Amino acid sequence: MEIWRLPISASQRGKLISAGYTTLSSLSSISSSDLARESKVSESEALDILKFASHSHSGGWEMSSGNCSIFEGAQNAWDMLHEEESLVHITTSSADLDNILGGGIHCKEVTEIGGVPGIGKTQLGIQIAVNVQIPHGFGGLGGKAIYIDTEGSFMVERALQIAEACIEDMSEYNRFIRKDFQACEIRMQPKDILGNIFYFRICSYTEQIALINYLDKFISEHKDVKVVVVDSVTFHFRQDFDDMALRTRVLSGMALKLMKLAKKFSLAVVLLNQVTTKHTEGSFQLALALGDSWSHTCTNRIVLYWNGNERYAYIDKSPSLRSASAAYSVTRRGIRNSSSSCKRIKMM
Amino acid sequence: MANKMISEIPLPKSIANVFAARNISTAKDALSLTEFELMELLDVGLTEVRSALSQISEIVAPPYQTALSLMEQRFQNEHLGGHFPTGLKGLDAALCGGIPFGVLTELVGPAGIGKTQFCLKLSLLASLPTNYGGLDGRVIYIDVESKFSSRRLLEIGLRSFPEIFQMKEMAQEMAGRIFVLRPSSLSEFTQSLQQIKVSLLQNQVKMLVIDSMAALVSGEHEQGVRRQQTLSWHISFIKSLAEFSRIPVVVTNQVRSQSHDEASQYSFQEYLSCAAQSRDGIVETPTRYDSHLVAALGIHWAHAVTTRLVLEAKSGQRFIKVAKSPISPPLAFPFHITSSGISLLSDEGMELMGPEINSIHCQGHNEIINFRMESLV
């Protein structure tokens, strides 16, 4: 392997090359003081370089005992399957939707949800932020939520409504399934649910990038965070950019960091996206915003759309789920299964 | 926070100097580059870049609040929990108390349906003392279409709140709180927005009305992409205005007829309907929105508004519809316009389904207007 791979500065790399150290193996049996003298870097820099070199060297091809880690950092497919099966999904509160999603929103993955204005993106975002807190005893994650609001569309009153309905549903479930009231009494209050949603209001794309960089530290301090909802990932990137190439680079950097977060803390990342019109093959069609290269970055992509009288969710992209669509509805109590009968309900 | 100077961030001396030497002076500059671009530019290692970035990020990232503290704060500090009652009881109940503070509320509908009437009523209400259900503050009314009528305003006042408006000095004070701006071009509009930002907080301004947003651009640019780009700065700016001053912002939007190549479907929907056809053996025409009218400002704008109220006329009856709202289900309320302004005929909303929610009808409301005008005279 070449020293290009080492995370060192350009000038250090230049010095190493001019001193003749072009491969990692050439660095493997040299002392730091020799390296410092020959390539004219300081002793401490030389020590760092050697540390990086030995690290990436052993990370590369060295065999180790035990079949679980032949390659450091790798995991075999069988183990991955077991791990995936043991993961709890975050329910969307609509059984049909959960069904096509393979149980709900997946942890360790980035899920993008897009749709036209008013289709229920923010509603789904709030619902997920509430549902992630359903305790283990009820088949939930018992986690906390981070809600990153870039548009100012988070409505705390609505979150309260959804939280109240969620608690009602849980006590209903309790009465129905368990019958013994003491076993798993609900000590959760709507206020507790709201208290477990960490709300960040973002006013520019710089803040958005900064926050996503900072999340790593924040979540290390709040280990029980199990979902990060970004509503919407698009807004600031749609307004403030002239240089599209820069936008693509910055966005993909951000997506990578989110993916890393999802894996590292085994949490779900939900990105809400807006739609735009796109001109293809002579006609205008709706498409999710941020362009083609962005569409590669998310693991799962769900598009919400109107189909006749009903709201539908469609799995546009997923490595593990087949493409399917399911109806859902947005009710006073939150996201629910679609009531197929189109009756007109009188409110209030 | 985005324009925070890097020199004010406590970075290690050596790396702070490198940032300064490469002319990366603000957090925005640094965070707009990828880690590798920074490594090349600053000529330092990955670990240094990473630690510098994480320090900068930590300072630039805004602090969090729990949703609970957000709610408590709203209820403590804000009049009526952050909602401005419109006086239309059914609508207020659906919207959790009225038009929300801090976000955009859009009124969209065909010409003559009553958008301006609604705006007049709202500005009047906002100027009233709190014991009359008002916000007791000044109102800025950006009148792009020159439709603001002070006579009509006072008439609505006199009919709705006779006890205030019969006293001349009170009427003078209330009307004196409503400031009308008449920008004639987009650049003038931009200027007045920037002025407003400065004076909003000092002057006890409690509401901003823009009537209408669509008129500004339709005159200057033809169609499509160009228009979207012109407005995106304004969208962002008005949103931030609403946000930082925590006042209700009401914006009207016109309608235009839907052009035939209008996008209303995703590419996969065609595919889905084709698949369904081949499975069932029935040839179905794909369901398209059959409405003739759409909001004049496109989908980008529609994403930016938090609440969208559609005013429409259907078989001679006018309806106000909650087409998009984070707190209300889609409901329609019949309304009419009288000399005392807009009022609901029923406080019970009808729940809407599917494309009904976003469609804008315009059937036979002209007759109603003519009729009312005669009865007013």
Q: Mean pLDDT per segment of 10 residues, for chain B of length 377 residues? A: 79 87 87 85 87 90 89 80 87 89 91 90 90 88 89 89 86 90 87 86 88 74 53 84 89 80 70 66 46 76 89 87 86 89 86 76 55 41
Q: Which residues 93-152 of A are in CB contact (within 8 Å) with B?
A: 116-118, 122-123, 126, 146-147, 151-152
Q: Where are the domains of chain B?
A: 6-60, 73-260+290-376
Q: Given B64, B67, B268, which is nearest A316 (Cβ)?
A: B268
With CA atoms as reference, the chain A residue closest to B302 would be A117
Instruction: Note whether B32 contacts A191, CB cutoff 8 Å.
Output: no
Residue to test with chain B: of A124, A254, A285, most B Cβ within 10 A? A285
Q: Do A232 and B324 touch (CB under 8 A)?
A: no
pLDDT of residue B162: 87
Q: Do B57 and A240 touch (CB under 8 A)?
A: no
Nearest to B301 by CA among B216, B192, B208: B216
Q: For chain B, say whether A347 makes contact (Cβ under 8 Å).
A: yes
Name every chain B residue with its beta carbon within 8 A of the beta carbon of A247.
none
Is the Cβ of A310 closer than 8 Å to some Cβ of chain B? Answer: yes
State the smallest CA–CA distance between residue A278 and chain B in angstroms: 8
Closest partner residue to A153 (CB to CB) among B43, B69, B326 is B326
Q: Do A209 and B261 touch (CB under 8 A)?
A: no
Q: What residues of chain B, 173 to 202, have a C-beta less than 8 Å from chain A?
A: none
In chain A, which residue's Cα lies nearest the Cα of B41? Answer: A10
The pLDDT assigned to B275 comes to 67
pLDDT band at A287; cut points 50, 70, 90: confident
| Contacts with B3 from chain A: Cβ below 8 Å | 206
Q: Within an 8 Å CB–CB cutoff, is residue B167 touching chain A? A: no
Residue B353 burial (CB count, 10 A): 16
Residue in A240, A250, A244, A323 with CA at minimum distance from that of residue A291: A244
Res B329: pLDDT: 81
Contact yes or no for A344 and B264 at CB 8 A: no
Residue B350, CA distances (Å) to A297, A312, B253, B291 in order: 42, 22, 23, 19
Contact (CB, 8 A) for B219 and B285: no
Check residue B284 and give its pLDDT: 42
> Which of residues A87 and B24 earns the better pLDDT score?
B24
- Residue with the two structure tokens 């923010």: A122
Each residue's pLDDT tens digit, A114-157 = 988 888 899 999 999 999 999 888 888 889 999 999 888 888 88
CA dist., res. B270 & res. B286, Å (int)? 7
Tokens, residue A158: 């609505």
d(CA B288, CA A336): 25
Environment class of A255 (CB within 10 Å of its CB; exposed 0-12, middle 13-18, buried 19+): buried
A173 touches chain B (CB under 8 A): no
Determine the pLDDT at residue A196: 93
Segment A9-29 mean pLDDT: 81
Q: How far apart are CA B296 and CA B304, in angstroms?
A: 14
Q: Which of A42, A162, A277, A315 to mutate to test the interface with B (most CBs of B within 10 A)?
A: A277
Please name the member of A306, A314, A345 whose beta carbon is closest to the beta carbon of B354. A306
Is the Cβ of B359 closer than 8 Å to some Cβ of chain A?
no
Contact A191 B68 (CB under 8 A): yes
Residue B189: both structure tokens together? 């509009």
Query: Helix/strand/coil (H, E, C) string of chain B?
Result: CCCCEHHHCCCCHHHHHHHHHCCCCEHHHHHCCCHHHHHHHHCCCHHHHHHHHHHHHHHHCCCCEEHHHHHHHHHHHCHHHHEECCCCHHHHHHCCCCEECCCEEEEECCCCCCHHHHHHHHHHHHHCCHHHCCCCCEEEEEECCCCCCHHHHHHHHHHHCHHHHCCHHHHHHHHHCEEEECCCCHHHHHHHHHHHHHHCCCCCEEEEEEECHHHHHHCCCCCCHHHHHHHHHHHHHHHHHHHHHCCCEEEEECEEECCCCCCCCEHHHHHHHHHHHHHHCCCCCCCCCCCCEEECCCHHHHHHCCEEEEEEEECCEEEEEEEECCCCCCEEEEEEEECCEEEECCCCCEECCHHHHCCECECCHHHHHHHHHHHHC
Average pLDDT, chain A: 82
Report the amino acid identity of residue B227: R
Residues A306-327, mean pLDDT to the nearest whole number:
87
Please judge whether B354 and A202 are an interchain contact, meaning their C-beta atoms are less than 8 angstroms apart.
no
Compute the half-sphere exposure of residue B196: CA atoms within 13 Å on the CB side of its CA.
31
Cα–Cα distance, B138 to B125 (Å, whole number): 11
Say how far apart CA B91 and CA B350 lie, in whole Å: 11
Report domain extents, chain A. 7-65, 88-337
What is the per-residue DSSP string for A200-258?
A: EE--SHHHHHHHHHHHHHHHHHSTTEEEEEEETSSHHHHHS-S-HHHHHHHHHHHHHHH
Assembly ipTM: 0.79
Q: Check B302 against A117: CB less than 8 A apart.
A: yes
Question: Which one-letter DSSP state was computed for residue A69?
Answer: G
For residue B70, list chain A residues with Cβ-Cβ distance below 8 A.
Answer: 156, 194, 199
Interchain CB contact of B327 with A (< 8 Å): yes
Q: Cβ A152–B306 below 8 Å, yes or no?
A: yes
Cα–Cα dist B119/B105, whole Å: 11
pLDDT tens figures, A114-124: 988 888 899 99
Which residues make Cβ contacts (< 8 Å) with residue B319, sequence separation at least 6? B311, B312, B313, B332, B333, B334, B335
- CB burial of residue A61 (10 Å; 0-12, 13-18, 19+): exposed
* A265: CB partners within 8 A, 6+ apart: A219, A223, A225
Highest-scoring range by mean pLDDT, A23-27, A107-111, B3-7, B361-365: A107-111
A108 has a pLDDT exceeding 60:
yes
| CATH fold for the domain made of A7-65 | DNA polymerase; domain 1 (1.10.150)
Among A48, A100, A212, A306, most B C-beta atoms within 10 A, so best to mutate, is A306
Is the separation of the CB atoms in B319 and B333 below 8 Å? Answer: yes
Nearest to A90 by CA among A335, A326, A345: A335
Chain A residue with Cα closest to B90: A348
A109, two tokens: 């993955």
First-residue to last-residue Cα distance in chain A: 70
Residue of higher predicted confidence among A303 and A17: A303
Residue B317 forms beta bridges with which residues?
A: B314
Alpha-carbon gap: A67 to the closest alpha carbon of chain B (Å): 32
How many angstroms separate the Cα of A100 from the Cα of each of A109, A300, A323? Answer: 16, 12, 8
The CATH number of the domain covering residues in B73-260+290-376:
3.40.50.300
The answer to whether the beta carbons of residues A207 and B2 sit under 8 Å apart is yes
Name the CATH superfamily, with its identifier, for domain A88-337: P-loop containing nucleotide triphosphate hydrolases (3.40.50.300)
Put simply, the answer to whether B302 touches A10 (Cβ < 8 Å) is: no
Residues of B in contact with A147 (CB under 8 A): 67
Q: A249, B34: Cβ pair inside 8 Å?
A: yes
Say what the pLDDT of residue A214 is. Answer: 93
- Here the contacts of A45-52 (C-beta below 8 Å, separation 24 or greater) are A45/A12, A48/A8, A48/B45, A49/A6, A49/A8, A49/A12, A49/A16, A52/A6, A52/A7, A52/A8
Interface test with B, best of A5, A8, A9, A256 (most B CBs within 10 A): A9
Q: What is the pLDDT of residues A185-195, one digit of tens each?
A: 567 788 899 99
Mark yes or no for CB contact B298/A278 under 8 Å: no
- Please indicate if any CB of chain B lies within 8 Å of the CB of A341: no
**B225 vs A: CB within 8 A:** no
Q: Is the pLDDT of residue A69 over 70?
A: no
CA-based R_g, chain B, Å: 25
Q: What is the pLDDT of residue B308?
A: 92
Q: What is the dihedral of CA B223, B228, B230, B233, to 10 degrees?
A: 170
Taking CA atoms, what residue in A is nearest to B289?
A308
Helical ranges in chain A per DSSP H: 10-18, 32-39, 43-60, 77-86, 95-100, 121-131, 156-173, 190-195, 205-221, 235-239, 244-264, 292-295
Confidence category of residue A60, pLDDT binned at 50, 70, 90: very low
**Residue A297 binned pLDDT confidence (cut-offs 50, 70, 90):** confident
Name chain B contacts of A345, Cβ cutoff 8 Å: 351
Among A13, A156, A234, A328, the residue to mutate for chain B (most B Cβ within 10 A): A156
Q: Which of A32, A41, A35, A54 is nearest to A12 (CA)?
A: A41
pLDDT number for residue A102: 87
Higher-confidence position of A203 and B2: A203
End-to-end CA distance of chain B: 57
